[in-house]
Amino acid sequence: MTDDKIKNGSAPDAEAETTENLKFTPARDGEKTIDADSDIIDAELLSDEDGEEADFAGFPGMDEGMMAQVQEMMGKLERVEVLEKENADLKFKLGRLAADFDGYRTRTTQDLDAAEDKGVSKAAEQLMPVYDDLDRALTMGSEDPAKLIPGVKAVQTKVLTVFSKLGLELTGKEGEHFDPQWHEALQAVPGDEDDRIVQVFQAGFRMGDRLVRPARVVVSRKG
């Protein structure tokens, strides 16, 4: 378009030209028409019909139900991780507890052995004077046999004193009533009453309510 045409007022109106461009051209056979608003219409249709799939555009072919299952599975996997961590913590604590128990058992065994050794040492220490008295009694008895019996009795008395200090109590004496908790009857002989100890073969010892050794005795039976 030349300047002369513009000056003469023959230039086409811009608005008319725009309107002309927007007119629809009838479709010929085999040709497709182009609609200026076709892109907008198609976008709206896709938005309405495929909106559900658009939410999961990153997962082709996945619908809302499948996504819910995936989320549920992910939650279970997270729970498994938590349980595995808790299990590892429990195993660690159990290992420490087992180690502590082994240490406690070892210390307890050592303490018991030490206490036993101390008890044996204490008992032996208490019996040493008895040994000394018995040795002197035998020495005196070899020179004068008449002195042997009093010396042995003195040793016996000292032994009972040592036993008493250790918590031992003599049980099973002649004339004592027979008690099967503390006594063992080896023989029964006729007598004036039942269950009376008439002879002691071997003295018994008790420590409180615990029997250390039963007395072996002979008991009487009336009639």
Eight-state DSSP code of residue 199: E
Question: Which amino acid is it at 79?
Answer: R
pTM for the predicted model, two decimal places:
0.47
**What are the two backbone dihedrals, phi and then psi, of residue 109, each rounded to the nearest 5 degrees?**
-60, -40
Strands across the sheet with 169-171, in order?
169-171, 204-207, 210-213
Q: What was the pLDDT predicted at 184? A: 95
CB within 8 A of 203, min separation 6: which ones?
170, 171, 172, 173, 215
Domains of the chain with CATH codes:
86-166 (3.90.20.20), 168-223 (2.30.22.10)
Determine the Cα angle at 95 with ends 90 and 96, to 5°: 100
What integer pLDDT is reported at residue 130 of this predicted model? 84
CB 223 within 8 A of CB 180: no
- Which DSSP string corresponds to 111-180? HHHHHHHHHHHHHHHHHHHHHHHHHHHHHHHHH-GGGHHHHHHHHHHHHHHHHHHTT-EEE--TTPBP-T
pLDDT at 204: 92
pLDDT at 223: 67
Q: Which whole-number Å values give the CA distances from 66 to 48, 59, 60, 62, 72, in the listed order?
A: 21, 10, 11, 6, 10
pLDDT score of 205:
92
Reading across the β-sheet that carries 183-191, which strands appear in turn?
183-191, 215-222, 197-202
What is the model's pLDDT at position 206?
A: 92
Q: Please give the pLDDT value at position 191.
A: 86
Helix (H) or strand (E) holding 220: strand 215-222
Which amino acid is residue 10, in one-letter code?
S
Asked whether 205 and 171 are in contact (CB, 8 A), the reply is: yes
- β-bridge mates for residue 216, sequence order: 184, 202
**Per-residue model confidence (pLDDT) at position 61:** 64
Nearest to 19 by CA among 34, 36, 40, 5: 36
pLDDT for position 52: 46
Q: Which residues of the chain have pLDDT under 50?
A: 1-12, 14-25, 27, 32-55
**pLDDT for 28:** 52
pLDDT at site 10? 47
What number of H helices and E strands is found in the chain?
6, 6
Q: Which pLDDT score is estimated for 64?
A: 75
